[in-house]
Every structure is written in C-alpha cells, then in structure tokens.
Amino acid sequence: MRIMFIGTSSNAGKTLISALLCRYLRSKMIMVTPFKALNLSSCSFRTDDGSEIGVGQAMQAAASDIAPSGMMNPVLIKPAAAGMEVVANRAGKTIKRDRDSLFTHALQTYDKLWDWYEAVVCEGSGSPAEINLRDRDIANVNFASARNIPMILIGDIEKGGVFAGIYGTWKLINDKDKHLLKGFMINKYTGDPAILKSGIERVEELTGMRCMGVLPHMKIKLPEEDSDVSGKRKFVTEDMNEYVVALDNMLTEISGSVDWEGIVKIMNE
C-alpha cells in the first residue's frame, strides 16, 4: 500500500492530511510509515538515530505509533549562512550532494521502508507543477513515477482559485505521469460543501480524478517548519503526543468529509 499527497502550492495541507491518513491506517492496525524524499525547512527534528528530519515527518511518525528516523526524510535542505545546507540522512555513509545521487538515495531509502511496512504515506514538497524545476525534482512526480506511486492532489481553497489550481496543476503534469493522479481534495473550506458540487464535477470530468474529500478549516497549530529563514539552525523539541491527540479528535470531526476507504483502495491499486 502506498500513496503520495501533492499540493497545488506550499502549505496546501499535505503534512496534516498525510498525518491524518497515517493515524487512520494505524487505527485499522496497519503498520504504516511516513516518507518525504526531500524537505526544505529551517527547522528540524533530531531523531534517536542522530538524523535531522522535517518536523512534519516526526509528527507523522508519532501518528503512526513509531519512532522518528532519518529514513522518513532522507534528504533535508536547510538555509545556512553560506546558502543552503544539504543533510543526507544515511548513517555511516557519505552521500554525494548532486541531484542524481540524492535521488538514488531517496529511492533506495523508500524501497527499504516499502519492504518493512504494510503502508507508506509519502508527502510531496512544494508544488509538483514548477516546470522550471521539473528535471531537478526528486520529491514529487519524478519520484512517484519511478516507483509507480498513486497521487492525490490537495488544493487550498483559502488561497482562492482552487479549481484553477487543481486543473492547472494536473494540466502541467507530463502526460506520461497523469495516470498516477487518482484523486484530489479541497482543504480549508468554510461553508456548505454543496456549493462546490458543480465545480468538483467539472474538474472530475476534465481530469478523470475523483474528489476524495472537502476538508473544513481545521484549527491546529502544527509544528513550525519554516519559522526562521535567517540561516539559523533550530531543532524542534515539541511533545509530538499532543499532536496525536489532536489528530484523533480531527478524524472524528471530519469522518464524513473524507473518503478514507476510497484512498485505501487507491493505495492498493
């Protein structure tokens, strides 16, 4: 079982929805792990194995009832005084910092998790439609394509133009990879979801993707990944158990808003 959540933009809700799915699968007694091939963050979480990973993956690990490890985020890019610092989480081995080496490292790490767990919930990074960066991308569609991972696209309605964002992102994905885009979700909606019905049906008709849910605006303060872009290093040490309690409450609140079983079916395709 595997899935990748991608977004029409940064902060669309990929981290939270990935964590909610991890928690949902764990409630079904499925051994699940989060995974994000590459994370760009000014903050990080220090794991027991000495790795630095994105705090979102630490929260997702807690939601999965497993200890955070470097394998959940094999490549972390952090702002540094002299530009960018690339952290390649691989105990006892030096990884070259060129794109191909990092991509291979991410793929090999995913393969190990795929062998060890029943389900892998992957999170993309930023937007998959940055066509100027397509050849260098290792965290979104290139990764999903290399491992035949189905994708669900998340749109943030708060930013406006959510249908344009979903359709435009789908349109900019290479035709050879469009078959991996199985569904979409609309996040942070306030109001009656019925108002969106005609727009959802039109996007489904245009793209072949199915709407997997309309999520309400959920009030939760997530662990901050990008609170400091000055190049200063910051380690986050929040008690992740607090987020797990919040995730459990959210799953109850949005039980009718997301087709979790439909997502599980996609994961098994």
133-184 pLDDT, tens digit each = 788 888 899 999 999 999 999 999 988 899 999 999 999 999 999 999 999 9
**For the chain, percent of residues with pLDDT exceeding 90:** 57
As a whole-number percent, the residues of the chain with pLDDT over 70 amount to: 86
Q: Model-level pTM?
A: 0.90
CA pair distance 88, 68, nearest whole angstrom: 15
Strands 151-156 and 52-53: unpaired
Taking all residues of the chain, what is their mean pLDDT, rounded to a whole number? 87
Domain locations in the chain? 2-267
Which residues neighbour 187 within 8 Å (Cβ) at sequence distance 6 or greater?
A: 12, 13, 17, 154, 155, 156, 157, 215
Q: Which residue has the tokens 């306030």?
A: 190
- Per-residue exposure over 104-126, b if at least 16 CB sit within 10 Å of its own CB, e if not: ebbbebbeebbeebebbbbbbbb
Phi, psi of 122 (to 5 degrees): -95, 145
208 falls in which pLDDT band (50, 70, 90)?
A: very high
Per-residue pLDDT, 228: 46
User: Which among 266, 91, 68, 71 has a CA at the least distance from the CA of 184?
Assistant: 266
Residue 231's pLDDT is what? 42
For the domain spanning 2-267, the CATH number is: 3.40.50.300
Q: Is 159 left (phi over 0), alpha (psi -120 to 50) or beta?
A: alpha
Residue 221's pLDDT is: 67
Mean predicted confidence (pLDDT) in 70-90: 75
Sorted by sequence, the CB contacts under 8 Å of residue 266 that are 6+ apart come out as: 3, 150, 152, 182, 183
Query: Which residue in 88, 170, 100 sits closest to 138, CA to CA?
Result: 100
pLDDT digit string (tens) for 209-225? 999 999 988 777 666 55
Q: How many C-beta neighbours within 10 Å does residue 199 have?
A: 15
The predicted model gives 58-74 an average pLDDT of 92
Nearest to 153 by CA among 266, 31, 39: 266
